[in-house]
Structure 1
Amino acid sequence: MNRRASWFNVTSIAFGLAFLYLPILLLIIYSFNESRLVTVWAGFSTKWYVSLFSNQGLLDAAWVTLRVALLSATAATILGTLAAIALVRFGRFYGRTLFSGMIYAPLVMPDVIIGLSLLLLFVAVDFGRGFWTIVLAHITFSLCFVAIVVQSRLSTFDRSLEEAALDLGCPPVRTFFQITLPLIAPAVIAGWMLAFTLSLDDLVIASFTTGPGATTLPMKIYSQVRLGVTPEINAVSTILIGIVSIGVIAASLVTKRREVARIRAERQAAAGIRNGI
């Protein structure tokens, strides 16, 4: 039964959307402000974007952040996918409870605790803090998100397609790469995008695990904001919003196309099996 939208529902949704997105919209608008005062509009200008690309400190921090996000998201996706396969396919193996608990622990653990524990670990093993410690830290907390996304897809996966390939003589490893992986690719891509976004956004954990010469962009922005917001901060934040938005839209389109292709492939495979029988 269709329910007509009441004024209360419409007002609540409007206030909720305004609360979430109005600050972001204002940030984007004032990134094109002529004035150096971020709260006083003095006309449209793109000079702060030009100034941004001559700010070597912000560019270096952005490059560090991008490298950390790419490496940590890729490694977390591989490890998270393997963890999801182990949880779904291996049944009640010895130590499953401990294994799943260790995988899901970063979901409920505060970032401060994760950052502090990793800092103590790196100090205990005398591992010099810097770029690679940030990468390892980001892999640690983003792996669980990938595992959950891929596990939800594997839970509804039709294993008859794998069994058919194995019956026809396809080796298990080749079956995984040619049958299983293409069908769960939307979940794997979604997990990678989630890990990439979380790495770009992280400030607390990176602050604990960083070292000399490894300042990420959120850390750089935070240190500058404490001295006062400048139009360059609005400009770099707008660029980050654009990159994340484009990535989310692209991932949604790719996932939708792959889901359609997966359904078509499953129907064709099922039809082929029926014809063979």
Structure 2
Amino acid sequence: MEPFLPPTSYDYLTVHKVAGSEITPASDVVAAEEPLEIRLGYGPAGQREHRTLAITMRTPGHDMELAAGFLLTEGIIRSRAELAGIRYCPDVAKEEERENVVRAELHENVEVALPRLERHFYTSSSCGVCGKTSIDAVHAAACPVLPTTGPYLDPQVIHALPARQRAAQALFEQTGGLHAAALFSPAGELLLLREDVGRHNALDKVIGAALLQEWLPLHDAVLLVSGRASFELVQKAAVASIPVLAAVGAPSSLAVTAAREFGMTLCGFVRQGRYNVYCGQWRLQPPTA
């Protein structure tokens, strides 16, 4: 059992804090997010096969437990007895992969359902695993270019979004346990909202609804998510050409890196009349007197 998360679980960044219409630079700490590649070894002695099973974004720490839980919940194994061992792969190509690739070995007599091995949480055609590889994979997938001419927002607009989102969350009021993703106009008008137990699912629903209504690209949209801002959410927003992403919670380090790469405005901790701007602060322009 790992008693604590390693120091690499945190990153220190320079941000811009917004209080009312005042924007000032400051420092902030964000949770690290890095890809973990899970490899699987299976088959009888002399005929062992090894393949990548999944790549998932995570905060470093407790990686062996993460891999074991993934194998169980995805139906690859049915009990601890089928698992021979899990360790970091020593034979990685790049230094940044050293503790980002684990290999799980199954006992020789364990039968593997091959179709289950095709269910990947995150796949990339790029070689190796690192934050830049993940971002490059999104660029290679024909990610639309975000506008560099706006939209421009009054900083006060961001302050008002959480209350407007919560007021429209019918299911949250009944259950108290759902994530929400909502699209707003640059003026703060609610355009579309969807809820789901998974924040990625909620965003997929919003983007899917916009797609079916032929709203894409969403160059003039502001997205608010109810939880934290992860790499996957930034990626999904970029694919839909959403230039501004605001989150009630914290962003991860890789989310900030990706947002910068895509030219996105990323805001976090949007609550109680305050928020941090991690990149793209040029889109926030207080009205002139």
Give TM-score scaled by structure 1 length.
0.26
Specify the structure having the higher radius of gyration (Cα): 1
- Comparing both chains, which one has the higher relative contact order based on Cα–Cα distances under 8 Å and sequence gaps of 6 or more? 1
Q: Which has the higher strand share?
A: 2
Give TM-score scaled by structure 2 length.
0.25
Q: Which has the higher helix share?
A: 1
